[in-house]
Homo-oligomer: A and B are copies of this chain.
Amino acid sequence: MGMIGGGPGAFIGAVHRIAANMDGEIELIAGAFSSDAEKSKKAGEELRLDPKRVYASYKEMIRRESELPVNERIDFVSIVTPNHLHFEPAKLALENGFHVVLDKPMTFDLEQAKKLHEIAKKSQLFFCLTHTYTGYPMVKEARCQVMSGQFGSIRKIYVEYPQGWLSSFLEGSDQKQAAWRTDPSRSGIAGAMGDIGTHAFNLAEYVSGLQVSKLCADINIVVENRKLDDDGAVLLKFNNGSSGVLFATQIAAGEENNVKIRVYGETGGIEWKQEDANTLLVKWLDKPTEIWRAGTGYLSSFASHNTRTPAGHPEGYLEAFANHYRNFALCVQATMNGEQPKPEWLDFPGMEDGVRGMAFIENVIKSGQSKDKWVDLKI
């Protein structure tokens, strides 16, 4: 694996490295960690990489790695830069035959996302968009149960993502994470909706197996002088006629990262929240709620495949992240060995999720500005 971005001070770069590293299947051997050649070099040293494989730019990395013999070169790149620096490196990597792992949201805007999709389709390479939350085993279990039809047709979906860390004007101080996320030139047209709203959106579509067809959004900039939305709530209509509510906020003072989803069908439903990630509540109209737990013997193959420890040994965010990397790597490896990836391995977020996420961003911001109630989710 070669990494693009993720130099000193980056939060998500470190997370990607731990996740990739966890299962011993993936090795970081190259990197262009910063657009500043010196910083990239320094990061490479700290990561104890071979200095020859630490590059001054992603372009150099892709060019030089392409020139190496196939069995020496990196198999894929992992791109962990801010949103405005997603499209170009991903495009270049795909065009040069490298599989791609990309942090979400997919691109700076929907236009780019659709172009990248085209490129990826032609390339037949693997592409993973790291929507962490669908990597949790109990989220996969939730999807399996919902898709099995055991709850009848789905009627209502609530998904929420409250954070509080942007309750003050943090970008006014020297806070790198806050700075780029609230800057339209790096983040795109959306703040909270792009940063965490897309996670909520992806989670809702993944677990329900449905697609949002219309939305009606209240999008707010709550903290004075902020340039992008830090709060929003969205009424949803899904393609089976059901409805839902999505909210995502970064000004809920006192909240950490409290992702939660509830899906209800005719006879029951599910509830999952990240704070208690190893638990899935399964609810029934006329029976006791059941507490399904990660690591037990009664789970679906999709859940079981994505746990490393027995029940009662909690796994968390890094393991969920690592599941995407592991499944992606298993697919890459299988293909390199001329084998067919298993369905459980193929279950990581990809191009379709990415394009839909970008469409969500564009349409939710548009709806926020509209006086009409419903806006179609157009791609």
Residues on A lying within 8 angstroms of B by beta carbon are 11, 14-15, 17-18, 21-24, 28, 47-48, 151, 155-156, 158, 160, 162-165, 167-168, 216, 218, 220, 222, 231, 233, 235, 237, 243-245, 247, 249, 251-258, 262, 264-269, 274-278, 282-293, 295-298, 308-319, 370-374
* 8 closest Cβ pairs, A-B complex: A254-B283, A257-B312, A256-B312, A314-B316, A313-B317, A288-B290, A316-B316, A256-B311
Q: Indicate if the CB atoms of B314 and A274 lie closer than 8 Å.
A: yes
Q: Indicate if the CB atoms of A164 and B264 lie closer than 8 Å.
A: yes
Q: Indicate if the CB atoms of A231 and B156 lie closer than 8 Å.
A: yes
Q: Indicate if the CB atoms of A269 and B254 lie closer than 8 Å.
A: yes
A286: chain B residues at CB < 8 Å are: 297-298
Q: Indicate if the CB atoms of B243 and A15 lie closer than 8 Å.
A: no
Q: Indicate if the CB atoms of A253 and B266 lie closer than 8 Å.
A: yes
> Besides A253-B265, A288-B293, A373-B373, 18 other CB < 8 A contacts?
A24-B28, A155-B231, A162-B262, A216-B235, A218-B243, A253-B268, A253-B284, A254-B268, A255-B264, A255-B312, A276-B276, A286-B297, A288-B291, A288-B292, A308-B318, A309-B317, A314-B317, A371-B374
Tell me the bound Cα distance from A156 to B164 in angstroms: 11
Q: Indicate if the CB atoms of B275 and A312 lie closer than 8 Å.
A: yes
A276: chain B residues at CB < 8 Å are: 276
